[in-house]
């Protein structure tokens, strides 16, 4: 069992690490938002196009 002071220190360190990870993720997103948005848009349109083609093939086979 750890004493109260050690537990508080370890919790503060782990919270600080999580906070730094969130800040770094936010900075990365802010710096690369345009590229990330473009890639997400391409993936969504590609998925919709594949679904549309699949539905068209199913309709053509009937």
- pLDDT by position in tens, the chain (length 62): 567 666 678 889 999 999 999 999 999 999 999 998 999 999 999 999 998 888 878 876 65
Half-sphere exposure of residue 46, counting CA atoms within 13 Å on the CB side?
Answer: 6
Using only the alpha carbons of the chain, give its radius of gyration: 24
pTM of the shown model: 0.53
Instruction: Enumerate the domain spans of the chain.
Output: 1-31, 33-62
């Amino acid at each position: 069992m750890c004493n109260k002071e050690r537990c508080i220190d370890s919790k503060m360190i782990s919270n600080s690490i999580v906070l730094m990870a969130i800040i770094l993720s936010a900075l990365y997103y802010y710096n690369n938002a345009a590229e990330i948005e473009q890639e997400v848009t391409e993936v969504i349109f590609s998925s919709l196009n594949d679904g549309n083609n699949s539905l068209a093939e199913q309709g053509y086979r009937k």
